[in-house]
Amino acid sequence: MELLSGRLRARRVLAGACTFAVAVLLSGCAALGERASEQVSERPPSRTDAARFLTQATFGPTEAEVERLMAIGYRAWIDDQFARPASRHRVVWESRDAAIKAADPRKAAGPNEVLHVFWKSALAGEDQLRQRVAYALSQIFVVSMADGSVRENPRGVAAYLDLLADKGLGNYRELIEAVSRHPVMGAYLSHLRNQKEDPRTGRVPDQNYAREVMQLFSIGLHELNPDGSLRLEAGRPIDTYDADDVLGLSRVFTGFSWDGPDKDNNRFHGNAQDFQDAERNWRPMQGYTQYHSRLEKRFLGTVVSEQARADPDASLAAAMETLYRHPNVGPFIGRQLIQRLVTSNPSPAYVARAAAAFDGDGRGVRGDMKAVIHAVLLDPEARDPDRAKDGRFGKLREPVLRLSAFLRAFGVRSDSGDFLLDATDDPGTQLGQSPLRAPSVFNFYRPGYVPPGTRAAAAGLVAPEMQITHETSVAGYVNFMREAVASGVGRRGGEGPRRRDLQPDYAPELALAAQPAALVDRMDRLLTGGQMSAALKAEIGAALASLPVPAARPDGSNAAAVERAKRTRVQAALLLTLASPEFIVQK
């Protein structure tokens, strides 16, 4: 049955166009300013406040989690999440691989199964905060299965997710070294099997990772003040590093290759079967002295000592410590975590508070990522209810998080138990985004992206997620969600040709289908956290009222028709809400 017809069809077009209003909502006339309440209440003042917090801290609020947060409060909820066992992507991927091979020895798990494992933890995992932070970090410390060298090691990618989940709530010093040593990162940014210089052949160390570990993973391109603003000299930004720094640091990242019980040349190159350790595709790379540069390693005002220079592990430790101690790291990483979790345009004071938490904030523990997450989520700006009314506060909800919020809100279940949702990259027919499939190391969008020719640009605002928002992706999103609402998402199977593996549950909504206003309130409660405008409620309510629901006959002869009409109303209410600015903009 056609979901949208007549008057509602016109509203579908309008709803799709609503996505373009996001830039307007993010460039409102209200001044962001520095105002924020000094105190954050221990418990959410309302369900709306609870839903806002969970939108920032999870893959989407559920009614049960809202109730729990209301009962125990913000800090208790965060601390409980920190204490929960981590979902294990590699272990689940391996079990799926074993099952596939048992069914058909010619087949094996691959990149799609990594996505299945991701969606299983995102939608059903109990450690929501840990996994939400890991996903945010995966957009900073990017590896991508769109790259062939990464795609051919899906087990390693699953393990990389585990690394981000574990080290992402540990210390940044451990995180940056673990990322640097991971073989998936080594393959992606080409420092796996990177060799020292050879004057005879003209070979020089690969500089790719040396550049990106500074530019993207630690200190950025320009020196920053503690509040994230640029330090200036004669009115110009000050570069954090130059070509000589890249050259010096590139020598550090030589001599690292596959893990194993020895450091034979064959193991370094990794081609001989006898030297391919079974666990090498996820264990940290080890240093091979014979391939490590002994030349001077000078970078960022540091020179690796002569004693450490010949030792790849000692050289790496010196480099990691230098990056870790750099004053840029707190504001650089803190701002991006705020952008990924809370708002695209945090005030300088907000960034400064996150940076202070990274720096130790008087406690003497630098780089404590749990302290940074506490600071980001419990900052007065993040928790101030009035910020939701500020046109400059908030962020465009990226497509992956729109889908996860929808599915979690409606109690998604997997028919197979394996959450069989493959890549959703296609902007014309899908989401235009998939986890761990960014087009480059710069992610799907840059943190400083400014949509050209918009009011956001004129107001001096960034809108990172707008980099993948355009005419094609807007239409693709609405059409994808239309199918998702009607038939679920993921691989086909189960009952009927259109049924998908991931199925939302609409039972409570079907019970309200005869009451358009109540049904709209339900959408507001589940998807927009009580922030839906009166105008949008009226618009959706009028659209639902135009879809008749026949009265049930006493003999039940039209029961099927009544059920279809109710389902059409529920699906229409859902789709119009999912395409609305109130849902697409996270406030």
Task: Tell me whether residue 452 is in a domain.
Answer: yes
DSSP string, 368-431: BHHHHHHHHHHSHHHH-GGGGG-TTS-EEPPHHHHHHHHHHHTT-EESSSS--------TTTS-
Q: Who's near 126: CB < 8 A, 6+ residues apart?
A: 84, 85, 87
Distances (CA, A) of 133 to 110, 455, 480: 24, 30, 26
Task: Tell me whether residue 509 is in a domain.
Answer: yes
Task: Tell me whether residue 382 is in a domain.
Answer: yes
Contacts 24+ apart (CB under 8 A), 551-560: none
For residues 468 and 396, state if they share a domain.
Answer: yes
Per DSSP, the three-state class of 515 is coil
**Per-residue pLDDT at 389:** 87
494 in the Ramachandran plot: left (φ > 0), alpha (ψ -120 to 50) or beta? left
For residues 346 and 431, state if they share a domain.
Answer: no
For residues 375 and 506, state if they share a domain.
Answer: no
Q: What is the pLDDT of residues 240-272, one digit of tens each?
A: 999 999 999 999 999 999 999 999 999 999 999
Token readout for 501 is 């593996």
For residues 478 and 381, state if they share a domain.
Answer: no
Confidence of residue 28 (pLDDT cuts 50, 70, 90): very low
Domain end (from 389, 409, 430): 389
Statement: residue 518 has pLDDT above 70: yes
Confidence of residue 64 (pLDDT cuts 50, 70, 90): very high
**Per-residue pLDDT at 362:** 67
Give exposure, 170-202, as e/b (b: 16+ Cβ within 10 Å).
ebbbbbbbbbbbbbbbbbbbbbbbbbbbeeeee
3-state secondary structure 86-137: CCCHHHHHHHHHHHHHHHCCCCCCCHHHHHHHHHHHHHHCCCHHHHHHHHHH
Task: Tell me whether residue 482 is in a domain.
Answer: yes
Q: What residue has token string 């929501």?
A: 128
Strand partners, 395: 586
Query: What mean pLDDT is predicted for residues 40-69?
Result: 96
For residues 358 and 485, state if they share a domain.
Answer: no
Token readout for 580 is 């609305």
Contact between residue 180 and residue 320 where contact means Cβ atoms under 8 Å apart: yes
Distances (CA, A) of 351 to 51, 358, 442, 466, 586: 23, 11, 21, 22, 19
Give exposure, 379-415, as e/b (b: 16+ Cβ within 10 Å).
bbbbbbbebbebbbbbbbbbbbbbbbbbbbbbbbbbb
For residues 402 and 358, state if they share a domain.
Answer: no
Range with the poorest average pLDDT among 130-134, 329-333, 394-398, 555-559: 555-559
For residues 374 and 341, state if they share a domain.
Answer: yes
Q: Who's near 156: CB < 8 A, 6+ residues apart?
A: 150, 182, 183, 184, 281, 282
Whole domain around residue 346: which residue ranges? 334-389
**Per-residue pLDDT at 14:** 41
Q: Who's near 564: CB < 8 A, 6+ residues apart?
A: 1
Give exposure, 306-331, as e/b (b: 16+ Cβ within 10 Å).
eeebebbebbbbbbbebbbebebbbb
By DSSP bridging, strand 489-492 and strand 500-503 are antiparallel
For residues 419 and 561, state if they share a domain.
Answer: yes
Cα–Cα dist 380/378, whole Å:
6
**Per-residue pLDDT at 494:** 56
Query: What mean pLDDT is predicted for residues 527-532?
Result: 96
**Per-residue pLDDT at 497:** 60
Q: What residue has token string 């109710």?
A: 566
Query: What mean pLDDT is predicted for residues 164-174?
Result: 98
For residues 381 and 422, state if they share a domain.
Answer: no
- Given 3-state DSSP classes, what are the helix, strand and coil percentages for the chain, each rounded to the nearest 5? 50, 5, 40
For residues 543 and 502, state if they share a domain.
Answer: yes
Query: What mean pLDDT is predicted for residues 198-227?
Result: 98
Confidence of residue 363 (pLDDT cuts 50, 70, 90): confident
Is pLDDT larger for residue 380 or for residue 17?
Answer: 380
Domain end (from 389, 408, 428): 389
Range with the poorest average pLDDT among 339-353, 482-496, 557-571: 482-496
Confidence of residue 39 (pLDDT cuts 50, 70, 90): confident
Confidence of residue 391 (pLDDT cuts 50, 70, 90): confident
**Per-residue pLDDT at 38:** 59
Domain end (from 342, 358, 389): 389
| Residue 424, phi then psi, degrees to nearest 5 | -125, 40
Domain tally for the chain? Answer: 2
Distances (CA, A) of 515 to 220, 273, 512, 566: 53, 67, 5, 10
The C-alpha R_g of the chain, in whole angstroms, comes to: 25
For residues 494 and 556, state if they share a domain.
Answer: yes
Q: Who's near 109: CB < 8 A, 6+ residues apart?
A: 93, 94, 96, 97, 100, 154, 155
What's the predicted TM-score (pTM) here?
A: 0.94
For residues 357 and 416, state if they share a domain.
Answer: no
Query: What mean pLDDT is predicted for residues 99-111?
Result: 98
Task: Tell me whether residue 60 is in a domain.
Answer: no
> Which is nearest to 527 in space by CA: 476, 561, 471, 575?
575
Confidence of residue 361 (pLDDT cuts 50, 70, 90): confident
Task: Tell me whether residue 401 is in a domain.
Answer: yes
DSSP secondary-structure letter at 256? Answer: E
Contact between residue 378 and residue 41 where contact means Cβ atoms under 8 Å apart: no
Confidence of residue 23 (pLDDT cuts 50, 70, 90): very low
Task: Tell me whether residue 288 is in a domain.
Answer: no
The terminus-to-terminus CA distance of the chain in angstroms comes to 35
Q: What residue has token string 């949702």?
A: 421
Rounded (10°) angle between helices 399-409 and 471-487: 20
Confidence of residue 19 (pLDDT cuts 50, 70, 90): very low
Task: Tell me whether residue 552 is in a domain.
Answer: yes
Token readout for 108 is 């094996």
Q: What is the pLDDT of residues 401-432, one digit of tens each?
A: 999 999 999 999 999 999 999 999 999 999 99
